[in-house]
Amino acid sequence: MDTPAESGARTGSRAAPRARSRRGGGRHGRALAASAGAGVVVAAALALSGCTSGTSSATSSTQKVSANTVIHRKMVIETGKMDGKPGWPRFIPAGFSAPAGATIVLTIVNYDDGTAPLPPTSPWGQVWGSDATFGAVTGGTELVNGSKVTAISNQLVSHTFEIPALLVNIPIPAASSSSHPVTVTYTFRVNKTGTFLWICAAPCGSGSAGMGGAMGANGWMRGYVHIT
Ligand SMILES: [Cu+2]
């Protein structure tokens, strides 16, 4: 089954490699246009994808530590040029581990100054992750260079860090230049153990829809979060 992010993003078309803009809302995006029930729609779709994709596995709802335990994790997004593979932007490292129940402060430093715009009705410009039934608890906000936001304009999104099975989505804007990265900080807790797939929902890869290359490659625009 396609995740909402994948099905929505595949339908766009891609322009210049640097701007990586694309058109088209995608069927998922259009379904969410009347946004009143959008959260429910996304939640249901994500629940299905999480259960059937075979790429994430959750076990018990065991909290191993308390929320007072604060775990700092950091990922850096490098451009393909920076790591010698032009056109292949990459999260480094492509995953991390943390104990269930801990407060995870995830810092993502983006050196990529290119955008990969989402369709106008895409939900992936929003910060997601405030529904405890999915096992993740957040305030639904992120800090962008220290300023609290609930969304990034879809046009300005460079990448996202999305964990479909946990209903987590962290939209990441483009760096102002490749030497002036943007820093996004997101604080959350995961109250169950498991190995959870994360993906980037922005079409930052190769091919006409921007979904090839890095987008489909573990270790580039997808990987795993291990909650132990
Ligand atoms: Cu990306």
171-199 pLDDT per residue, tens: 999 999 989 999 999 999 999 999 999 99
CATH of residue 84's domain is 2.60.40.420
Global pTM?
A: 0.76
pLDDT of residue 134: 75
Query: Cα of 63 to ligand 1 centre, how many Å?
Result: 31
Query: Cα of 115 to ligand 1 centre, how many Å?
Result: 9
The pocket of ion ligand 1, defined by CB under 5 A, consists of 159, 200, 202, 204, 221
Write the pLDDT tens digit of every residue in 14-64.
Answer: 333 444 544 333 333 333 333 334 444 444 444 433 333 345 665 555 667
pLDDT of residue 79: 95
Q: Both tokens of residue 128?
A: 């997601």
Q: How many residues does this entry show for the chain? A: 228
Q: Both tokens of residue 139?
A: 């305030």
pLDDT of residue 133: 74
- H helices of the chain, in order, are 4-10, 26-31, 38-52
pLDDT of residue 18: 44
Number of domains in the chain: 1
Write the pLDDT tens digit of every residue in 139-160.
Answer: 889 999 999 999 999 999 999 9
| Dihedral of alpha carbons 74, 42, 3, 53, sign | positive
pLDDT at 8 over 80: no
Strand partners, 194: 58, 227
Q: Which residues of 179-188 are buried (b: 16+ CB within 10 A; e: fewer)?
A: eebbebbbbb
pLDDT of residue 187: 96
pLDDT of residue 12: 37
Query: Cα of 52 to ligand 1 centre, how many Å?
Result: 23
Q: Helix (H, G, I), strand (E, B), or coil: what is residue 83?
A: coil
Please tell me whether the peptide bond between 93 and the residue prior to it is cis, using omega within 30 degrees of 0. yes
Residue 181: give the domain boundaries.
Answer: 4-227
pLDDT at 82 over 50: yes
**Interatomic CA distance for residues 47 and 151, integer angstroms:** 22
pLDDT of residue 48: 38
Query: Cα of 60 to ligand 1 centre, how many Å?
Result: 31
In terms of pLDDT, which residue wins out, 5 or 117? 117
- The residues, ordered by sequence, that sit 6+ positions from 223 with a Cβ below 8 Å of its Cβ are 91, 93, 94, 95, 197, 198
Percent of the chain with pLDDT over 90: 64
**Interatomic CA distance for residues 173 and 91, integer angstroms:** 14
pLDDT of residue 4: 42
